[in-house]
Structure 1
Amino acid sequence: MRDASPGQADRTQPQPLRWLALAVLVLAVLLVGIDATVLGLAVPFLSEDLRPSSTQLLWIGDVYSFVIAGLLVSMGSLGDRIGRKKLLLTGSVAFGALSVLTAYAHSAEAMIVWRALLGVAGATLMPSTLALIRNLFHDSRERSVAVGIWGAAAAAGTAVGPVVGGFLLEHFWWGSVFLINLPVMAVLVLVGAKLLPESRNPAPGPWDLPSVGLSMVGIIAVVYAVKEGAAYGLRWDVAVAAVVGLTALTWFVRRQLRLPAPLLDMRLFASRGFSGAVLADLLTILGLSGLVFFLSQFLQMVQSRTPFEAGLAELPAALGAVVTGLFAGAIARRTSVRGAVAGGLAAVGLALGSCVLLQPSTGYPLLGSALLVLGFGAGLAFTVTADVILSTVPKEQAGAASAVSETAYELGAALGIALLGSVVTGVYRSFDTPPGVPGGAADNARHSLGEAVETAHALPGPAGERLLTAAQETFTEGLRLGAGVGAAVLLGASLLAWHLLKDQRLGDIPEEDPSTPAPGR
């Protein structure tokens, strides 16, 4: 017997249960938000314990995003086929189990492997939550509120992560920050199994495995080429990866256009609003991620804050995002979609631009104000673009469309850490050996800022102080340059959003005309 269609499942869901179901979905978003932020806090402790090279440190930071970006489209489409609830709960269990393995990683290589597998599990979570929201809330204003709560929860996760993570790092070993996923995952699975309605595409067609392979190979190879090219210049492996990735993606697109039941319906991109929102998300997180990844290191190893203090220092960004996320739909309706998105991105760009003034001795008022403005802008822009993406696709394709949105986010994060991270580390590696410091010690310090702290502590007084000061000042210089590049990207994204989102509105779309043949029908 065929399962109920998404629309049928939604219409039989009582109104109070609809919002309780949203509360369960919020737990999944919190899970991902917490996991994304605690890693940055744990980096200094990872550096001391696992001794990763600067390249391994970047891989630890971005391999999760690489893998999740490569699989999101496939997983979103899989959820449309087998059921979004089933995929969400299965992925949550796997996410919790892999969090335990990550917490007990014994080497940098093991950490990279577990983070990669965590990306596989993570690829099931975010598309499922957004797709379920699309099928739970048909009314456009209700959906805007729901998406705002969803976005606020993501921001709240980034707020809770550093504070709770900082507390744990001060009292336990670095692996404890990954174990905070477990209670959230447990509640999600136990309550979600009872409360969440199942939804799926009633006529999806088969899941095309060659398309799955092409999308994953294409995205991962392209991101690898960008990352390695930015860090080390053009090499044979970079060129090969770029060619393989672009070829695979081209083949993927051509295959989707020919298949009767494509993994991703390329007609979605014919919508100017959909394409504009996706591109805005990608550029926004690209410009932000480099600063976010290195900010915790700056707060702890340059300004000598404890992990808990660093978590509190980053709180204004998340609080700003929560506030504007809750009211983003109303703001977009009172002004305009393009005004809300472009204005939000411009605010983020200006906040990043102010970070070019950072010095090791910079007081908190400047940094805290910049983070608050950044949070206001990001919360507004991300929530409105998510609403646009959901409201411009048929609910049967909500999983695939949500996956495209999340792919843009994760791809932007991976590229941002790779490109802007390479800017920061490139500048950092260039600092001159201070007088009286052995050349070997300076070489060790150039591997990472964490290594510099350890090396400086092992040197006699004045030499150690000079080495640490040189490392901190050069790291801050790299951070300033990275923030400047990020600001330019965000301001460019603001102009692009203003152009592409012209005349876009938040509202319901008509159901697909049954007389119009769709892929797989």
Structure 2
Amino acid sequence: MANTLAQPSRRQSWFGLFTVLCLVLLVAMDGSVLYLAMPHITEAITPTADQALWILDIYGFVVGSLLITFGNIGDRYGRLKLITAGASVFGLGSLGAAFANTPEILIACRALMGLGGATLLPSGLAIVSALFPDPRERALAIGIFAATFAAGFAIGPLLGGTLLVSFDWGVVFLINVPVVVIFLIAAPFFLRDVRSTRYGRVDLPSLILSFVGILLFTWSVKTAAAYGFGIHQMLVGGISVAALALFIRRQTWINDPLLDLSLFHDRVFTLAILTGLLSLVVWSATGYLSGIYLQSVLGYPVFTAALLTLPGALVLTATCVGTSRIVERIGRKVALVATHLLIGGGVLLLLLTSTEAGTAVLVTSTVIASIGYGLSFSLVAEIAVSAVPAERAGAAGSIAETSNELGNALGISLLGSVAAVCFRLFGPGVAGTLNETLAQPNLPPELALQAKQGFLCGLHVAAGIGGVIALAVGIIAWLWLPKKLPE
């Protein structure tokens, strides 16, 4: 028997939505502001190339490892309690990160933020779904939910860029704290708890297998990119694959699986989740590499680099809000296919960038790809939460958000590692990253140019791989999905 919200008033529903959006905005801002802050962090605490990647994506991998678990915990024991506790942990982690003075401490605080962040998105999406039982209003609310996430990526660089002009890099984490405080004050007034009592305990072995498998896989990929392949990397990689395979197998026979594999019998759901994963792989990698390109290759100050991300972010936000209307006009199949074609076409434009010029190309690339990202963010979430009964919205939403968070971390880890390998092969060999190389005292101009060219080679290879994969999945979606999909 599910315990659900009594039908909320329309006003209460919208106030509840805006309360949840505080946390969505926080998570999005945290992701984008860090891309622009990395050169400052590198200069201040001098992380190695491997540590720099961990600083960027340990948050995403902790979140991705725990989203399914916390989505289920929220369904069983109460989403509001979970999201409130998670927001508090996120705030504490942000406070610690703001004053971290070593790479190790910063990585640990980012992991703590991930622990809190894993409660925010699936519970928030499930609460929004429960607040809007009408399918049309729910689709609009989810579009606003996704648009807020996109808007955070616009606000984050602008706010962070402004603050970084006058303050140390720790301020990009400190700005999370007042947002958490606002949510903790507002939540008891505008949100009520939702949970289901039909499902059993969270399966601890499944949690351990998924968490260990994802983290070990990431470590093996990162170390192979930074230092080359070796016995340790291959051994750990094999263990990670075995752990994930055991996790999937376990979900097929336990009574209360963390991952409901039966949902993937639906082609539309499967393609939507794949869309969420791949779109974030491309977005996170190109966003991270583009931030370095604008600042360290073309030489723009951080605030100017932030302004150049604004057109794409605005297009992304507008597309998220308008996705429900777009889908009504062109249908789900065309929308899913268009998502991949727009992302792939936009990202491949980055191949035209050079060490001397590329601003116009980068902005154009971002605008085109952002239409695809906007379709993806709203459509994936809407398909996920509408595919299951209301009391299972947290679990279904967690699958959608897991695909996004894993894509976000995998993009930086995998495609970022590809870029790192290219720099290691074609850079001057002075240091492990472009920023470290350019910071070397008395660096000859020819070595500086070689470092920029080595980085640009990595950007091109990563963008090429991401663009080709996106186009290929778009073609597969067109051929695989039926002509008319249920709305």
Contact kept in structure 2, 1:387 and 1:506, CA below 8 Å: no
CA distance in 1, matches of 2:365, 2:233: 36
Tell me if 1:130 matches 2:128: no
Tell me if 1:402 matches 2:400: no
Helix, strand or coil for the counterpart of 1:417? Answer: helix
Q: Deviations over 1:462-517 (max 9, x none)?
A: x533332222222122212211111112112222333454356465xxxxxxxxxx
Tell me if 1:424 matches 2:419: yes
Tell me if 1:383 matches 2:372: no
Equivalence map 1:328-407=2 (5 Å):
328-407=323-402
Where does residue 462 of structure 2 map in the other structure? 482
Tell me if 1:502 matches 2:482: yes
Where does residue 204 of structure 1 map in the other structure? 199
User: Post-superposition shift, 1:347?
Assistant: 0.9
Equivalence map 1:39-438=2 (5 Å):
39-431=34-426, 433=428
Given the alignment, which residue of 433, 437, 450 partners 1:448? 433
Helix, strand or coil for the counterpart of 2:252? Answer: helix
CA distance in 1, matches of 2:484, 2:192: 31
Gaps of 5+ in 1: 434-441, 508-521
> CA 1:248 to 1:337, structure 2 compared with 1: closer, same or farther past 3 Å?
same
> CA 1:167 to 1:156, structure 2 compared with 1: closer, same or farther past 3 Å?
same
RMSD between aligned alpha carbons?
A: 1.9
Helix, strand or coil for the counterpart of 2:139? Answer: helix
Tell me if 1:473 matches 2:471: no
> CA 1:304 to 1:87, structure 2 compared with 1: closer, same or farther past 3 Å?
same
User: Post-superposition shift, 1:33?
Assistant: 0.3
- Matched AA of 1:464: P
Contact kept in structure 2, 1:38 and 1:161, CA below 8 Å: yes
- Matched AA of 1:83: G
Compare 173-182 and 197-206 and name the one that shifted more.
197-206
Q: Deviations over 1:275-334 (max 9, x none)?
A: 111111112212222211111111111111111111111112211111111110111121
Contact kept in structure 1, 2:221 and 2:417, CA below 8 Å: no
Helix, strand or coil for the counterpart of 1:32? Answer: helix
> CA 1:476 to 1:247, structure 2 compared with 1: closer, same or farther past 3 Å?
closer
CA distance in 1, matches of 2:158, 2:178: 17
CA distance in 2, matches of 1:51, 1:252: 37
CA distance in 1, matches of 2:230, 2:102: 28
> CA 1:391 to 1:415, structure 2 compared with 1: closer, same or farther past 3 Å?
same
CA distance in 1, matches of 2:422, 2:327: 40
Contact kept in structure 2, 1:355 and 1:483, CA below 8 Å: yes
After TM superposition, the score normalised by the length of structure 2 is 0.95
Contact kept in structure 2, 1:276 and 1:500, CA below 8 Å: no
CA distance in 1, matches of 2:27, 2:59: 11
Contact kept in structure 2, 1:320 and 1:374, CA below 8 Å: no
> CA 1:159 to 1:506, structure 2 compared with 1: closer, same or farther past 3 Å?
farther
Compare 286-295 and 26-35 and name the one that shifted more.
286-295
Helix, strand or coil for the counterpart of 2:149? Answer: helix
Compare 377-386 and 261-270 and name the one that shifted more.
261-270
Helix, strand or coil for the counterpart of 1:502? Answer: coil
CA distance in 1, matches of 2:299, 2:58: 28
> CA 1:162 to 1:32, structure 2 compared with 1: closer, same or farther past 3 Å?
same
> CA 1:431 to 1:229, structure 2 compared with 1: closer, same or farther past 3 Å?
closer
- Matched AA of 2:392: Q
CA distance in 2, matches of 1:432, 1:84: 49
Contact kept in structure 2, 1:272 and 1:501, CA below 8 Å: yes
Tell me if 1:28 matches 2:57: no
- Matched AA of 1:478: G
Q: Deviations over 1:321-374 (max 9, x none)?
A: 111111101111211112112112211111111100001222532221211112
> CA 1:263 to 1:304, structure 2 compared with 1: closer, same or farther past 3 Å?
same
- Matched AA of 2:209: L
Helix, strand or coil for the counterpart of 1:335? Answer: helix
- Matched AA of 2:330: T
Contact kept in structure 2, 1:257 and 1:266, CA below 8 Å: yes
- Matched AA of 2:159: V
> CA 1:134 to 1:503, structure 2 compared with 1: closer, same or farther past 3 Å?
farther
Contact kept in structure 2, 1:202 and 1:396, CA below 8 Å: no
- Matched AA of 2:433: S
User: Post-superposition shift, 1:408?
Assistant: 1.2
Q: Deviations over 1:119-175 (max 9, x none)?
A: 111111111111112222222111110111011000000000000000111100000
Higher Cα Rg, which structure: 1
Q: How many residues align?
A: 487
- Matched AA of 2:273: V
Gaps of 5+ in 2: none
Contact kept in structure 2, 1:280 and 1:497, CA below 8 Å: no
Helix, strand or coil for the counterpart of 2:133? Answer: coil
Compare 129-138 and 32-41 and name the one that shifted more.
129-138
> CA 1:354 to 1:236, structure 2 compared with 1: closer, same or farther past 3 Å?
same
User: Post-superposition shift, 1:205?
Assistant: 1.5
- Matched AA of 1:86: K
> CA 1:418 to 1:364, structure 2 compared with 1: closer, same or farther past 3 Å?
same
Q: Deviations over 1:386-443 (max 9, x none)?
A: 111111112221111111111111222222212211221222223465xxxxxxxx52
- Matched AA of 2:61: F
Helix, strand or coil for the counterpart of 1:264? Answer: coil
After TM superposition, the score normalised by the length of structure 1 is 0.89
Compare 421-430 and 237-246 and name the one that shifted more.
237-246
Contact kept in structure 2, 1:277 and 1:497, CA below 8 Å: no
Given the alignment, which residue of 3, 6, 15 partners 1:5? 3
